[in-house]
């Protein structure tokens, strides 16, 4: 489980070991993995990150100007 500094304490899980061979950036977040992500996985991750960002913005009271209020 990551601590508040974003590390896990295990090099093989944060890219320091030989296990991480691929990196993919989705919605400004770089993900490291042992195998490349498929296009479907990238699309799903992008949708998740957009939803997460929208939820956090809503909690902070940020107005979504692209949203249709009707």
State the DSSP string of 11-40: GGGTTSSSS--EEEEETTEEEEESSPPPHH
pLDDT tens for 3-19 read: 334 444 444 445 455 67
Q: What is the pLDDT of residue 40?
A: 96
pLDDT tens for 15-46 read: 455 677 899 999 989 999 999 999 999 999 99
Q: What is the pLDDT of residue 6?
A: 44
Q: Which carries the bigger pLDDT value, residue 66 or residue 8?
A: 66
């Amino acid at each position: 489980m990551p601590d508040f500094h974003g590390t896990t304490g295990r090099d093989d899980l944060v890219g320091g070991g030989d296990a991480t061979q691929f990196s993919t950036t989705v919605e400004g977040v770089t993900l490291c993995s042992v195998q490349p992500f498929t296009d479907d996985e990238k699309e799903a991750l992008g949708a998740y990150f957009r939803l997460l960002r929208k939820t956090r913005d809503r909690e902070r009271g940020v107005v979504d100007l692209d949203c249709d209020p009707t």
